[in-house]
Amino acid sequence: MTASGIFAGAARRASNKDHLKSSERVGECFGIVVVLLLTLFFLENQMQHTGFFTARFGVTESLLFYGSALFGAVTMASRSLLGRRNAVRPLEVFGTLLWTFTSYWFLQVFPFDVAHFPDLLPGVVRFLFWWLTNETARLLLLIGVIAGPLQAIYTTLLFLAVRRMQKEEHR
């Protein structure tokens, strides 16, 4: 099977699954709650001056960090409200590119001390984050910088292919 054949199959499956089931719409709402809770967790870290955010975490970094997270919630809300996946893919592309830029920016300024990430968590679960270091965080950001544009390209092509299929179906 060729790469175009594989992609055509993926686009066909995406077109067939464009409409969200009720349970999937609820899942999107649950995802919004998770994003909001995580955002509040990081805001609390910032307000409490735990050390997770360093002096390099300024206004630009705040806008990128929280803006990227909250834009993800906007995308989930749009999917839930519209009940369609493909209609929201342009927002997904924008969000992916926003997170890619944010990751790149954070690699340049690295405004974190990741050792303080679990400081506000209950002591009983802090050990789960023993592996999280500044180097690990930098690696994850680098993966985001590399994978983000690839994901944006794939999502754009999928959006266009599914839209074309849906137009052909309505003829």
Question: pTM of the entire structure?
Answer: 0.91
pLDDT band with cut points at 50, 70 and 90 for residue 2:
confident
Give CA–CA dist 104/73, Å, rounded.
21
Instruction: Give phi and psi for 137, each to the nearest 5.
Output: -65, -40
pLDDT tens digits for 116-154?
999 999 999 999 999 999 999 999 999 999 999 999 999
pLDDT tens digits for 21-62?
999 999 999 999 999 999 999 999 999 999 999 999 999 999
Predicted pLDDT at 3: 65
What is the greatest pairwise CA distance in the chain? Answer: 61
Give CA–CA dist 12/68, Å, rounded.
30
pLDDT tens digits for 85-123?
999 999 999 999 999 999 999 999 999 999 999 999 999
Task: Name the DSSP class of 17.
Answer: T
Nearest one of 47, 63, 53 to 116, comparing CA atoms: 53
The half-sphere exposure of 101 on its side-chain side, counting CA atoms within 13 A, is 12
Going from N- to C-terminal start, the domains of the chain cover: 20-169
